[in-house]
Amino acid sequence: MLEFFFRGGPVMYPLLACSIIVLTVVIERILFWVNMEMNRDKSLLNEVLELCRRGDWEKVRFKTKGSKNYIVRILVTGILHREFSMTKAMESAAADELKCMRRYNGVLDTMITVAPLLGIFGTVIGIITSFEILGTTGIEHPQAVTAGIAQALITTATGLGIAIFSVFPYNYFNSRVEHAALAIEKYATSLEIVYEKLIHPNCDQEGES
65, amino acid identity = K
Cα separation, 153 vs 4, whole angstroms: 11
Cα separation, 99 vs 36, whole angstroms: 14
Tell me the pLDDT band of 208, cut-offs 50, 70 and 90: very low
Cα separation, 69 vs 149, whole angstroms: 54
Cα separation, 181 vs 161, whole angstroms: 31
pLDDT reported for residue 122: 86
Give the DSSP letter of residue 69: -
pLDDT digit string, tens, across residues 29-66: 999 999 988 887 778 888 888 888 887 788 888 888 87
Cα separation, 16 vs 5, whole angstroms: 9
Burial of 81: CB neighbours in 10 Å, binned 0-12, 13-18, 19+? middle
Q: Above 70 in pLDDT, residue 123?
A: yes
171, amino acid identity = N
